[in-house]
Structure 1
Amino acid sequence: MLIGKLHAFTSSRLAVIDLDATVQAAALSLSRPGIGLVVVCNAGGGAEGVLSKSDLVRHLTGPGSKTPPVSDLMNRSIVSCSPQDDVHDVWQTMAARSLQNIPVIDVGARPLGILDIRDAMKVLFEQEEMQERMLFNYVAGVGYR
């Protein structure tokens, strides 16, 4: 299954903030239920980086200024996927890199959503169950004469 077919899941988890947003604005976005990652965008709407709850907590508990813009805290090395990517491939990337969330980015670098690893696993389990039922029905001759 392609990531684009999960738009209902991914779009509901999308949180976007500006490069010059405050730490407080990022915290407010991250405090919403189901939001674990915000995409930091430039004025044109292109993704410039990401900021996770973990990044924010690390900053707030560490030394230094507590009021920098999110552009100082964000991770500029974005690990992302596109709507054309396969869920299984994206899940493997997430598992290999220990990522809970991954942004879905279009060809223009605009964020479309956030894929949560639990949603990816749910889809993969549902696909496995369907394949198992189809194989069972085939072997049992259900629907065949």
Structure 2
Amino acid sequence: MKVSDIMATNPQFVGINEFVTHAREIMRDYNYDSLPVVQDGKVAGMITLQDIINVTSTRSDVTVNGYVRQGVPRLTPDTPVKKAAFIIIRTDEGRVPVVDSGSRLVGLLSIKDIFKGLPELGLEDGPVSDYMTRRVVVCEPGDNISRVWLNMIHYGLTGLPVVSQREEVLGMVTREDIMKRGYVRIGRESDTGRSPSSVQYIMSTPAITVEEGDPMSKAAKIFMERNIGRVPVVKDNKLVGIIDRYDVIRACRALQGVTAK
């Protein structure tokens, strides 16, 4: 299987001289963490939400040019999926541009796309506890949505578990939950949107969780069937970790011995 079999085609992008506010608008509307940047028809790099989060709407003349990440990897349509998976789990952008021989953008590959090739990658079906992250950024039902949003951006997370004071997982809140309901705007405009409200009004319940002893295949199935990217891990109904799509790909046998060259 090759990248061309699973990549997204006709991707959104921005020109290097376009305004940051336009890039941010696209990210908001499509719930993207990053966008390819094109100059003279060729991929110049990527711009991420974290890079531009502090550019306020009053600075409308700021262009993308000063925020481009130029060292991002590029894939070709013929790149084997196992090599692409190895590369993408080592990037901060979450998505990697796919280019032709002339460096022109022909597609994008995300960690979500990699899951289409999961059967070929050979998932090691060990327990979730072997791959989960144990230090978890969380929020509580009464937390202010604007503050939770900024925490997500600061830590580069797409969602947070919502827990009780007894560390019981009550639900999840995601960036998409916040943006679709219009509670905050991207960037420092977050304080000028609707009156602040709390997480309890927008979080998803009941919580979808896995036990720390569950096999990785169970977590992978949840990601594919539910179209979610992170799942809290519990023991005796209390939060002990979190697992995401990246962890599943890292657990695949096909990535052992693969290099980026």
> How high is the TM-score relative to the length of structure 1?
0.71
1:40 is matched with which residue? 37
SS class of match (1:71): helix
Match of 2:78 in 1: 84
Q: Aligned partner of 2:9: which letter?
A: S
* Structure 1 match to 2:16: 19
One-letter amino acid of the counterpart of residue 126, structure 1: P
Aligned equivalent of 1:60:
55
Determine if contact 2:82/2:121 at 8 Å carries over to the other structure: no
Which residue number in structure 2 is paired with residue 143 of structure 1?
none
Structure 1 pair 75–126 and aligned structure 2 pair: CA distance change class (3 A): same
Q: CA deviation at 1:56?
A: 1.9
Instruction: Measure how far apart 1:6 and its partner are.
Output: 1.9
Structure-2 residue corresponding to 1:106: 100
SS in structure 2 at match of 1:96: coil
- Say whether residues 1:50 and 2:49 are aligned partners: no
- The one-letter amino acid paired with 1:106 is D
Three-state SS of the structure 1 residue aligned to 2:29 is coil
1:118 aligns with 2:112: yes
* Whole-angstrom CA distance in 1 between matches of 2:102 and 2:52: 27
Alignment identity in percent? 17
The structure that is helix-richer by fraction is 1
Q: TM-score, normalised by structure 2?
A: 0.42
Which residues of structure 1 form unaligned runs of 5+? 130-145
Equivalent residues, number? 120
Q: Tell whether the 8 Å contact from 2:16 to 2:37 is kept in structure 1 after alignment.
A: yes
Instruction: Write the deviation string for residues 65-104 of structure 1: whole angstroms up to 9, x where unpaired.
Output: 6742101111111311110101111111122334411111
Unmatched runs of 5 consecutive residues or more in structure 2 = 123-261
